[in-house]
Structures are given as structure tokens and as C-alpha cells.
Amino acid sequence: MPGLKEIRKRIGSVKSTKQITKAMKMVAAAKFRKAQTRILELRPYAHKMHSVLTGLAGTVEKGHPLLEVRPRKKVEVLVLTSDKGLCGAFNTNIMKAATRLIKEIQSEEKELSISAIGKKGADLFKRKDIAVRNSWTGISGRISYTNAKEIATDIIENYTNELFDEVILVFNEFKSALVQKVSVVRLLPLADVAGAAEHPMTQDEPVNFLYEPSQQAIFDALLPKNLEIQVYRALLESQASEEAARMTSMENATKAADDMIASLTLQYNKARQAAITKELMDIVGGVEALKQ
């Protein structure tokens, strides 16, 4: 059984850990509120842009390289994780889903390339000796539209140059402070927009808009922009999910520290009581020995 000094030392250590986890929870809560606001404000914009594109797709005459559906020979998997840990199963769930997807693609005997957003995913692929085509790290907590544009530009260039025929993104979609859902989304080709172009929507009373400079020019400009918005939205979804997961994880760690402190305190009191009882027994035994 550990001594009183060792138990006191462990109690002090757990109390220090509790202060750290409590502070981290408060920091994560502040970051979460900001991240939640950003993603909730972006979603309507992303939905509206997609609506405009699908509406234009049925009216333009010329297609676009991003809509081109080629034979599925090489697939790019883009895995979005965090740069830091201490966020529960946030990264683990993403990597499990990404690993399943990679195995499925390999079982179909397709060529595979992998890109990673976030240090945790890049490090894991490196430890498993899995080649990573490109990686972006150090953007968690300070996401900007520039980051999304850089990633989207890389994807667009390689897709149009036929380096790969399909791009799939794996990320955590934010649902609530307690729920984050791993989503697997096909970024390219833009199937929804391509479908709208092949099957234009019919309306009983069509609305005649005026387009400047032209419908085709607007369509060609918005398609790459739409991909940037999709990547940007995924980054913000992931950021909100990460901070929510970290907030929950730190709250659970703080509660676990409270339970451990209570258990150690009880153990300390029992050990202290046993030590006092032993000392009393020694005193009583000494007194009895003197009487004899």
C-alpha cells in the first residue's frame, strides 16, 4: 500500500491536471462558439451558390472540365484531420473511415493517391509508410478562405491535367456540440451540377434573368469558386467539430480527475487512520509493558 507522502503527491498531481483540463475546456468553448458561428453563416451561402449553379447548368451550351466524368482509373482521397490532439475520438474516427475507403478502392484495383489536411493525418500515414501526394498542416484554429483556395487550386489543376479521375473528401461534419458525423463526399467531378446540365429543370413559369456578361461566363467562373466554397465549408465544419470534441473531452477529463481525487482522498484518509491506529497500539503496548 502506498505511503501517505506518495498519496499526497498523487493528489497534488491530479489537482494540477484538473486545473489544466478545466482551462482547456474554457478555451475550447470560446473557440467553439466562434467556429460554430462561422459555419452556420457559411452554410446558406454554400447552398445558394449550388442552387445558382444547378440553375445555370441547364441553360449553358458549353460544358466545363470540372464536370467531365472520365473512366474511374485513379482516385484521390483527401483526408481532413486536426493539427493537435486532446479531442477525443475526433481524429480516430476520421482515420478509420479513410482506411476503410482506401481498402475499398484498392480492392477495386484502382490507382490511389492520398492528400492530407492536418498534421495528425499526415503523421499517421507517414508512420504506416503510406505515400502522401500533398499535405497542408498548421491551419487548424486559424482557417481562412486563402487556405481553401490553395487546396482547391491544387485539386483543380491535377484533375484537369488528368492526374486523377475522382476526388473524395473525408472529414467530420458538425451537427451539434455533442454530435459530429464523419462524412465521405465526392468533390470531383461535380456530379450534382453535371446532372442538372443533362436534365435541366422545367418550370411552369420560368423566370427570365439578365446575365452580364453572359450565362456561360458566369457558369465558368462559378464552378471553380463552388469547389473552393465546398473545401472552405469542410474546413469550417471540421474546425467546429474539433473544438466541440475537445470541449467534451476536456469536460470528461475534468470529471475523471474529480473522481480520482475523491478516490485518492479516501485512500489517504484510510492510510492515515491506519497509521494513527498503529501508533496508538504501539503506545498502549508500551504502557502495558511498563506496568509489568
Looking at residue 156, its pLDDT comes to: 93
Domain ranges for the chain: 27-200+208-247
Q: What is the pLDDT of residue 279?
A: 81
pLDDT at 248: 93
- Whether 61 has a pLDDT exceeding 70, the answer reads no
Residue 203 has pLDDT above 50, yes or no: no
pTM: 0.85
| 113 and 130 Cβ atoms separated by less than 8 Å | no
Q: How confident is the model at residue 42 (pLDDT cuts 50, 70, 90)?
A: very high
Q: How far apart are CA 27 and CA 32, in angstroms?
A: 9
Catalytic site includes residue 252: no
Q: What is the pLDDT of residues 150-167, one digit of tens each?
A: 999 999 999 999 899 999
The fold of the 27-200+208-247 domain, in CATH, is Pyruvate Kinase; Chain: A, domain 1 (3.40.1380)
Among 78, 87, 156, 187, the active-site one is 87
Alpha helices in 185-214 (DSSP H): 191-198
Q: What share of the chain is helix, strand, coil (3-state, %, to 5)?
A: 65, 10, 25
Position 206 pLDDT exceeds 50: no
> Could you tell me which residues are beta bridge partners of residue 167?
76, 188
Pull the grid cell for residue 114: 492520398
